[in-house]
Amino acid sequence: MNTRSNKFIVITILCLTFMACGSETVGSLMGNKDVVVNLVYGSEKQEWLEPLVAEYNAANNKTADGSTIVIEAKPMGSIEAINAIIGQEIQPVVWSPASSVYLPVAEARWQEKFGHELAAQPPADLVLSPVVIAMWQPMAEALGWPTKPIGWSDISELAVSEDGWAAYGYPEWGKFKFGHTHPDFSNSGLVAILAQAYAGAGKQRGLTPDDLLSPELAQFMEQVESSIIHYGSSTGFFADTMFNRGPSYLSATVMYENLVVAQKSKRLSGASSQIPVVAIYPKEGTFWTNNPYVVLNAPWVSDTQKEAAEAFETFLLARPQQERAIALGFRPADPSIPLGSPLDAQHGVDPSQPQTVLEVPEAAVIEEVQYLWRQAKRPVDVTLVVDTSGSMAGDKITTARTSLVEFINQLSNRDRAQIVLFNNQVSVLSPLTPLADKREELVRRVSGIIEGGDTSLYDATLQAYQQLETEGDPDHIRAVVVLSDGEDTSSVRTWQEILQEIGASGEVEGGNSIKIFTIAFGSGADTTVLQQMAEPTGGKQFTGDPATIDDVYAEIALFF
Amino acid sequence: MQSNRLLFFGIISIAVVVVAGMFLARSLLVNNDPIILSILYSTEKDAWLNDVSSGFTGSVHGRPIQLEFEKMGSREIYLSVLDGSRQPDVISPASSLQISILHDQSMVEDGTPIVSASGADDCRSVVSTPLVLVAWQERAEALGWLASPDADMWEQLQAAVVNPQGWAAYNHPEWGFFKFGQTDPNKSNSGLMTLLLITYDYFNKTAGLSTADIIADDYSQWFGELGKFTTIGDSTGTFMQEIVAFGPSKYDMVAVYEATAIEQVDNAAGRYGALHIYYPPATVLSDHPFCTLHADWVTSDKVEAAQQFVDYLLTQPVQAKALELGFRPANPTITLDSPNSPFTRYAANGLKIDLPAEVELPSGEVLNTLINFWNRHHR
């Protein structure tokens, strides 16, 4: 063979080789890319979604261009999430709130900001569950359940009644203790106040701004809210609180049917020893959670992310994933999947319910009801106990000061706040008086807090607690919020005395007792002690550092 | 030498001519390129067309026919053909209502209609399904609808919807207010069909609906009240899924196609009680016409190809498949009362073979007036 034909053969082989491996080479290069889909969703479906996200990610699903789909999902209050998205604090690809109730408000605000529609396509429903009032079975029976229909109006009457459960022949149950989440952050809180507005107006549809102007409605709402033990950011947390603490703490809570089923399943398996809880489907009508999957039509969402988000949606709507949702107590969005166990009487629910719904009001009316609630909500008496020991020097004291100011600004004028500072001494910076008269002065005083000295954590906490017991108004939510960065080093009072005091008060007042919220600030804080202070009261222990302390205070504010 | 050279060039020239001639003849006589027939169809037919179109083979002058499908809502089909954003060869919206509007509107805009009036040879219906009301039987019975609703069904429905007492006025306070749903006529054909039937009924007519009728003040008020409390949806299929998934708490009654209802009857069993199908006193059909466009891109070969495909859709096995999916076949050799027919299986759910009289199809102008009327009350 001559050199020319040799050359030809070499070139041909090279060409063939490139042709053969070309697509694979390109594919593997592209396959190294990840497309990340951030998803924020309502916490009520956490138990369903979390394992599915892990499975989906493990399967290395690809988009058409060969990118590997990575889902990063985070539970967050439904309304809190959209507020954060519109404020561009977070930039997820998908928002899946508990229900479509807030969608009209979100849509209006989105269009105002971005000039186009919120959703990239009409959102599909992932799973369904009606909003119910979860109540301990003996209490529901005292109200006539299951034969007598019970509604928002009955709950409201009970909440308003001075006699509480005594009016139903059960004085030993004390006052009616009711719970719903914060309506500016969580879907179940929002629907609870919408239902209250309907009950107050005596309507089931056509709620108008005029209805909301009536002083009777405002008074009605204020009375119902007076039975609220505290608010909170997540429906899931409320369900846990009720089911862990039992009937002396909370009589009833607005939540979703699936959470009642989940509790019943725990009870049947022996994982919970509480008395049974049942779902009440309000006779005037309720709302549905439909868990819409909203792929955001946002400037930060790429076409590949949209494609990946849709692929994950298809996965969630497929039969095996829907069947897992049913096992957890949801109703399927796909009508070809039958309803069955555990959606049955054995699990405290009635699949033939609800019989009717309340009409979802238009956006402006929803916002009006939220405004009305802010005026009517149960006031809070809060004592902010702040560690000013020497170890708080630097970032800690500066961030604590600004976070406290923000916390004070979230409280309403009717709320009363006092501030107790401690190092080796305990000093009251401001007495328990309404913020209306002293907001500016208080902010000024807080901004001037300086550090130095030892840590008298027990003395300060106990003094704050006892003062709130004597000076606080039992009709208000009463809470002590303690921030500490170290172990107690200089108290006169003992740990035992604190436990005794808290225990005695909790027994008498149940959910209406004074709550202690604690913040372990930085790595030196005594987390064990702070946790043991908070939990028996129905409060919560948080961990924070200079970077996160403002979020921690903001979350505590949601309880009020 | 000279003559050799001449001979050489002569042979070459002849060869070139022969080869060129062969190519020319080949391209003129035996063109094997497929004829691509693009079809824009409405979403309701998706399952049926997906099932049957792979069985179609056809050719025109030896060229195989290749089908290209795109699906969209019926109203979108009308709009995209009218504004030229789509240039399909064949369109198949859910009903002749869109054909009527497109015919009249294209005549106004271009001086010549882009489609024939429906019923023409190049605009044939392949399956049909009437508009029905699907309701929870227990609730429809409480309204007084037993085997079938009365002649004043729409008046009864409007009265129940607007009654501030809701179901309490019918001895069922536990059912709350009366919840009726229909689709938006701007987005979905079933919404336009519902609006048409309600309007005809208000004027006690089944033919001759006029623009003057629609704009009458008393109708505006009557319909305005109904519209205020009607839940509006975008898609007929989604509506039907929702009445099954959410049960009677969300909808007492929805206006959908008979075929859409049939699709969900089995799913509804064992959920929230019996679901029943009711026929309005006068009906209108979603008749799924396949219409070839009168446009310069539709060649005579494409016209022929379209005819072949429609003939195929009307063949016995393809039509039998449509019946399985709940459509009424256009091919009269297929009867609805066979043992396996959904009309037999779901007779207990109120499905009926015989239909009441159809209302007359109004002109495109009247239909446009009707849509504008709707928009005044809903936007």
Q: Do A352 and B273 touch (CB under 8 A)?
A: yes
Q: Do A355 and B268 touch (CB under 8 A)?
A: no
Q: Which residues of A touch B174 (CB under 8 A)?
A: 149, 283, 355-356
CA distance B176 to chain A (A): 6
**DSSP-assigned letters across all residues of A211-233:** HHH-HHHHHHHHHHHTTB----S
Same domain, A305 and A361: no
Q: Does B372 touch chain A (CB under 8 A)?
A: no
Across the range A330-337, mean pLDDT stands at 94
**Residue A280 domain-assigned?**
yes
Same domain, A115 and A138: no
Across the range A46-61, mean pLDDT stands at 97
Going by their DSSP bridges, the two strands B328-329 and B230-233 should be labelled as unpaired
Same domain, A273 and A312: no
Which of B43, B170, B174 to mutate: most A Cβ within 10 Å?
B174
Q: Does A5 touch chain B (CB under 8 A)?
A: no
Looking at the 3D structure of chain A, how many domains does it have?
4
Retrieve residue B337's tokens.
Answer: 């009362």
Q: Do B249 and A333 touch (CB under 8 A)?
A: no
Superfamily of structural domain B35-125+289-326: Periplasmic binding protein-like II (3.40.190.10)
Same domain, A174 and A235: yes
Q: Do B175 and A204 touch (CB under 8 A)?
A: no
pLDDT attached to residue A15: 43
A221-245 pLDDT, tens digit each:
998 898 898 888 888 878 988 998 8
Q: Which residues of B touch A291 (CB under 8 A)?
A: none
B147-205 pLDDT, tens digit each:
778 889 999 999 999 999 999 999 999 999 999 999 999 989 999 999 999 999 999 99
Q: Is B312 left (phi over 0), alpha (psi -120 to 50) or beta?
A: alpha
- Whether residue A512 is predicted with pLDDT greater than 90 in this model: the reply is no
Q: Does A317 touch chain B (CB under 8 A)?
A: no
- Whether residue A331 is predicted with pLDDT greater than 60 in this model: the reply is yes
Task: Specify the DSSP element, H or E, that contains A558.
Answer: none
Which of B176, B234, B270 lies at the smallest CB-CB distance from A356?
B176
Please list, residue by residue across B34-56, b when 16 or more beta carbons sit within 10 angstroms of its beta carbon and e when fewer do: ebebbbbbbbbbebbbeebeeee
- Whether residue A26 is predicted with pLDDT greater than 50 in this model: the reply is no
Q: Do A355 and B249 touch (CB under 8 A)?
A: yes
Same domain, A243 and A103: no
B residues 162-181 closer than 8 Å to A (CB): 166-167, 174-177, 179
Same domain, A439 and A515: yes
- Band of the pLDDT at A12, cuts 50, 70, 90? low
Same domain, A491 and A532: yes
Q: Do A204 and B176 touch (CB under 8 A)?
A: yes
Instruction: Report whether A278 contacts A76 (CB < 8 A).
Output: no
**Residue A352 domain-assigned?**
no
Task: Specify the DSSP element, H or E, that contains A178.
Answer: strand A178-179
Same domain, A487 and A467: yes
Please determine whether the domains at B35-125+289-326 and B129-286+339-378 fall in the same fold group of CATH: yes
Q: Does B250 touch chain A (CB under 8 A)?
A: yes
Q: How far is CA A110 from CA A2, A122, A299, A362, A371, in A?
A: 73, 15, 12, 15, 20
Same domain, A52 and A18: no
Higher pLDDT, B147 or A500: A500
Q: Does B271 touch chain A (CB under 8 A)?
A: yes
- Which residues of chain B, if any, have pLDDT below 70? 1-3, 15, 17-30, 379
B8-27 pLDDT, tens digit each:
777 777 767 666 666 565 55
Instruction: Report whether B245 contacts A343 (CB < 8 A).
Output: no
Superfamily of structural domain B129-286+339-378: Periplasmic binding protein-like II (3.40.190.10)
Across the range A96-116, mean pLDDT stands at 94
Across the range A318-326, mean pLDDT stands at 96
Same domain, A108 and A167: no
**Residue A216 domain-assigned?**
yes
**Residue A350 domain-assigned?**
no
Q: Do B245 and A334 touch (CB under 8 A)?
A: yes
Q: What is the mean pLDDT of chain A?
A: 90
Q: Does A282 touch chain B (CB under 8 A)?
A: no
* φ and ψ of A113, to 5 deg: -80, -45
CA distance B372 to chain A (A): 23
Across the range A516-535, mean pLDDT stands at 92
Q: Does B354 touch chain A (CB under 8 A)?
A: no
Same domain, A26 and A134: no
Same domain, A182 and A241: yes
Q: Show the domain range for A196.
A: 129-256+263-284+357-375
CA distance B336 to chain A (A): 25
Domain ranges of chain B: 35-125+289-326, 129-286+339-378
